[in-house]
Structures are given as structure tokens and as C-alpha cells.
Amino acid sequence: MSLLINGLLRKIPKMDELLSHPVFAAHEPSPALTLAARRVLDKLRREIQSGAAGEIPALEDLAREGLRQFEAGQEPCLKRVINGTGIILHTNLGRAPLAAEALSAIEEAARGYSNLEYDISAGKRSSRYVHVEALLTQLTGAEAAIVVNNNAAAVLLALSAVARSPHLDEVIISRGELVEVGGSFRIPDVMEQSGCRLVEVGTTNKTHIPDYVKAIDPAKTGAILRVHTSNFAIIGFASKPSVEELAETARAHGIPLIEDLGSGCVLNLAPYGIHGQPVVASSIKAGADIVTFSGDKLLGGPQAGIIVGKADLVAKMKSHPLTRAFRIDKLCLAALEATLKLYLNPKAVVQRIPTLQMLCATADEILEKAGGLAALCNATVASSASVIKSQSQAGGGAMPEENLISYAVAITLPGVPPDALERHFRTGKSPIIGRVADDKFLLDIRTMNKEDFPIIVNRLNQLNPSIEQSTMPRERVGI
Ligand SMILES: *Cc1c(COP(=O)(O)O)cnc(C)c1O
């Protein structure tokens, strides 16, 4: 090691020296503060050893860097962001925001003890599933219900408990439904994990009832699986049997039909202009024996996997060992019950559940809101904001081929490239996630609240013309 490096290493300030600098001394001593100081000195040591640092920075600069790290460490890592992407069920942004009723239910259940698995009138142990089962059967017309951690778990449990028995372990599925849902949830892999043997029938674009019938073996077939291919659409020369037809075939052979609806709707959204979304009650009515769907997609509730269907099959799932591993936690359960209760009043539910409210918002409503934000922006710094037509999406795998007409506020600032603007909004204390298109920074209004607007204006106000030279926070961003 060179003399120069050795000399520099010897000049690194001592921990005590750094910690007693007024910048640090103004804060109450704590292990987190000491850790931040140590990190700064360790980093400096590495930089000297690698030759990246040729001098010792001023003690004050080191202290300020340490304090910056300390303060960054106090911020929660998981935090609220403003969704200006226009994608309502954005999996990376946490999918469905919850209704006020669901939020209070979570708070109430989290604050103290609850009757999670306790029958108050009998004074005895009970099951956590009773809190939502009656609601789910009432809303879907199914005989029984159980809820688990998410829909991926629901499908795996359904296949494991219903389809798998020592001899009846084959599950028939159309080749057009062997999909990957995202986040590496692939139907063929899930089937393999459940221990079932996959029997593919038909072709990618066409599968007919006789294809299924040919594959049924009374000595081997455990179930027929139908998957709502929610995140892509085969358009053109394509067809598959209806749920009714498939259910009739399954029934004739004494085999259960399991349907993974993905983003199933509890309410028919057609009256609100949202067409083609599978409704859970329709699948049950059409004869599906088990239907699974997500709690945090179009339902607009917390993360959960909801399973409804025949009582004997649901009973098998309730006693299956995997159920314990997949069980829903009490906070999600509380939020789910509150969300489902809102569906008991179908007239009011669209306004109460944020996901449905955003989905059903009319273009005119969004246009008016967008005008409001643009005006607020234009009243501030030298920015110019205008309202442009945009397209938002349901997300979460729902309605892949349908874009919803929406409006975005396009923000430009002289001398500031749109990428820098995008980064400025994204980083910092209240992240605002938008996108750049046609050389403009866009915020889609469909997925935003009026309460978000002051935060956006505030963030805009923090800009000055030297934005590019200013030190952009070097935060990790997982988008
Ligand atoms: C989203 C989806 C899943 C996975 O649901 P999670 O609740 O995210 O686990 C499974 N199947 C289909 C068809 C889906 O759309």
C-alpha cells in the first residue's frame, strides 16, 4: 500500500470526533446515529483504499452526510406513493387502496384482542373463516367459502385438496389457459406443486368439449381446471367452451370443475360501462364447483385469496394441512369483512370502494379534476401544465384489451428535461409516480385523489431552474 494511502488512512477522523461535531451533537445519541457515523467513516476508508478518495473531506461535510443517512434511515421504507400511472390495480404500487370502512376495521382489529377464532356466545374456540363465510355465500350464491392469503394460494389449495387423491391426480386444462399471470405465477408450475398431473387438451386458440371428454379417465381424472386468461387476450379465430358447457361435462362424469377467475367481480359492472368482467355468482350459477379469485383486484379489498363453492369440497380445504400455511391474517380478514359488507348495498358500493370508484369514474369527471390540477400547477412556478387525453387501465390482469378513456395533466418546465421532472416527482418524501410520453411528464388523473393535488403542487414548488445541477437524491427506486 502506498505511503500516500497509509497517510490518508491515518488521518480519518475518529468516531468520537465525528459524533461530537455540532451537527451530530444537536441530536440525542442513539445506536442509529452511531451506525450512521460509522457507515460514513467506513465508506471513506474504502474510498481511500481503492484510490477513489485523494483527500479527507471536512469534518462538517462528513457529519452532514452521516446525518443525511441517519434521517433517511428514520423514514419508513414502505411508504405511501401517489399513483399517477392511470393503472388502477398496479401490483408494484400495492393494488387496491382500501375503503374507509376497511381501514377502520383494520385499526379496530389491530388495536386489541378480537374474537378471531373465538365463539363469543358459546365461550369456545371457533374458526377464523366464519367472519366472512356467510357474506361470501350470500354475495356469490355458493354453498360455502374459505379465504386464504392470496389467489395463488387459493388455486394451489383447491388443486391440492380437491383434485389430488392417490389415484385421481390428473387435472385437465386447455392449452389456451396455461398462462403466466405475472410475478412468476405460472399455471403449469402451480399444478406441479400441488402434486397433480397436468393433462393438456385442445390448442392455444381453440378447445372444444370433445377435447375434454377424450381426456377424461374415470380411474385417473381428479378435476377440470378453467383459468380466466386475465392478462392477455386471444383475438380472432379462437373459442373455448362456456362455464355451463364445461360444468355439464364435468357433472356428467362426476368430476369437479375448478375455476380460477383471477380478478373476479362480485358486482356486475356492466351497468357502469365495464363489460366482459367475469362475475363470481355467474360462474357458480353456471355450475362451477369451486371458484377462486383475488381480494385485492377488482373486489377492491385487502390481499386475499377467496374460494367459494360446494360445501363438501370447501370442507376438504378447511381441513387440509396447507390451509394452515396459507391462512389469512386477522388484519386482512377484518378489511375483507368490511369490504364485503359494502357490497350488500350495491347502489352505494361503487362510491365507497376506491377501486370501483376509479374504474367507474366518467371521462367528464376526470376531465374536471384534471382541469383543477392543471390550474393549481399553473398558478405556481414557471411550469406550464395542460390537460391531455390519456388512457388508463384496470391492471391486475383485468380487461387487458380495454383501455379506459382518461385525462392526464402534462407538466413541462423550461430547461428541465421530462426525465429529470419525472425523477424529481418520483424521489423525495412523498413519491409521485407518473410517466414520460411525447417529451412530457404525465400524471393520469383517474388514479389520483384531490387530496393528492397539494402534494403535487408542493413538489413542483420545490423545483428551481437549477434542478439539473441540484443533487438528485440517490435513492433506490423499485419501479
Ligand atoms: C392475479 C391472478 C392470480 C394470482 O392472484 P394473487 O391474488 O395475486 O395471488 C391467479 N390467477 C389469475 C387468473 C390471476 O389473474
Residues 242-276: tens digit of each pLDDT:
999 999 999 999 999 999 999 889 999 999 888 88
Residues 48-89: tens digit of each pLDDT:
999 898 899 999 999 999 999 898 888 899 999 999 999 999
Written as nine digits, the cell of 362 is: 366518467
Show Cβ contacts of residue 135 under 8 Å, excluding neighbours closer than 6 positions.
337, 340, 341, 343, 344
* Model confidence band, residue 400 (pLDDT cutoffs 50, 70, 90): low
Measure 398 CA to ligand 1 centroid, in angstroms: 10
Measured from the Cα of 231, ligand 1's closest atom is 15
pTM of the full structure = 0.89
Residue holding cell 394451489?
Answer: 156
What pLDDT shows up at residue 469? 40
Q: 12-16, 62-66, 191-195, 455-459: which has the minimum mean pLDDT?
A: 191-195
Measure 177 CA to ligand 1 centroid, in angstroms: 13
Judge whether residue 289 has pLDDT over 80.
yes
Residues 325-363: tens digit of each pLDDT:
999 999 999 999 999 999 999 999 999 999 999 999 999
Q: Which helix (H) or strand (E) holds 76?
A: none
Q: Which residue's C-alpha comes closest to atom 8 of ligand 1?
A: 151
Average pLDDT, the chain: 91
What pLDDT shows up at residue 447? 97
d(CA 418, CA 438): 9
What pLDDT shows up at residue 477? 33
* Model confidence band, residue 425 (pLDDT cutoffs 50, 70, 90): very high
Residue 307: strand, helix, or coil: strand
What pLDDT shows up at residue 472? 41
Mutate to test the pocket of ligand 1, among 93, 184, 193, 260 (most ligand atoms within 8 A of CB): 260
Residues 175-231: tens digit of each pLDDT:
999 888 766 788 888 888 888 999 999 998 899 999 999 999 999 999 999 999 866
Judge whether residue 168 has pLDDT over 80.
yes
d(CA 379, CA 72): 31
Q: Which residue's C-alpha comes closest to atom 11 of ligand 1?
A: 262
DSSP notation for 405-445 = EEEEEEEEBTTB-HHHHHHHHHSSSS-EE-EEETTEEEEES
